[in-house]
Amino acid sequence: MPDNEDSLVANNRTRPGLLPLGKLTRWQWWLLVAANIFLLLFGQIVAVLLGRFYYDQGGNSKWMATLVQTIGFPILFIPYFLFPSSKKSSATINTSFSLSVIFSIYIILGAVIAGDNMLYSVGLLYLSASTYSLICATQLAFNAVFSYFINSQKFTVLIFNSVVVLSLSASLLSVNDDSDKPSGVTNAQYVLGFVVTLIASAFYALLLSVTQLCFQKVIKKETFSVVLELSIYTSFFATCFSIFGLFASGEWRTLGGELNGFGKGSLAYVMTFVGTAVACQVCSVGVVGLIFLVSSLFSNVISTLSLSLTPLAAVIVLHAKMNGVKIIAMLMGLWGFCTYIYQNYLDDDDAKKKQTDATGAVSSDTFTPLLHQ
* Residue 336, SS3 per DSSP: helix
Q: DSSP per residue over 255-322, as a string?
A: HHHHHHH-TT-HHHHHHHHHHHHHHHHHHHHHHHHHHHHT-HHHHHHHHHHHHHHHHHHHHHHS----
* Predicted pLDDT at 30: 78
Would 12 be classed as within a structural domain?
no
Would 41 be classed as within a structural domain?
no
Would 262 be classed as within a structural domain?
yes
Would 350 be classed as within a structural domain?
yes
Would 366 be classed as within a structural domain?
no
Q: Are 340 and 159 in contact (CB under 8 A)?
A: yes
Would 116 be classed as within a structural domain?
yes
Residues 6+ apart with CB under 8 A from 27: none
Q: Are 181 and 128 in contact (CB under 8 A)?
A: yes
Would 30 be classed as within a structural domain?
no
Q: DSSP per residue over 65-123, as a string?
A: HHHTTTTTGGGGHHHHHHSGGGGGGGGGS-TTS-HHHHHHHHHHHHHHHHHHHHHHHHH
Q: What is the pTM of this model?
A: 0.78
Would 215 be classed as within a structural domain?
yes
* Predicted pLDDT at 103: 87
The count of domains in the chain is 1
* Residue 14, SS3 per DSSP: helix
What residue numbers bound the domain in which 228 lies?
Answer: 46-359
Q: What is the 3-state secondary structure (H, E, C) of 113-164?
A: HHHHHHHHHHHHHHCCHHHHHHHHCCHHHHHHHHHHHHCCCCCCHHHHHHHH
With 0-12 CB in 10 A as exposed, 13-18 as middle and 19+ as buried, what is 297? buried
Q: pLDDT in tens for each of the 373 residues of the chain?
A: 334 433 333 334 333 333 445 556 667 777 888 888 899 999 999 999 999 999 999 999 999 999 999 999 998 888 788 765 544 444 444 445 677 888 898 999 999 999 999 999 999 999 988 788 878 878 877 877 887 888 777 777 887 887 778 777 766 766 665 556 788 888 899 999 999 999 999 998 888 888 878 877 877 665 667 777 888 999 999 999 999 999 999 999 999 999 999 999 999 999 999 999 999 988 988 877 787 777 666 777 788 778 777 877 888 887 777 778 778 878 887 888 788 778 877 876 777 777 777 665 544 444 444 444 3
* Predicted pLDDT at 296: 67
Query: How far apart, in whole angstroms, are the C-alpha atoms of residue 94 and residue 217?
Result: 8
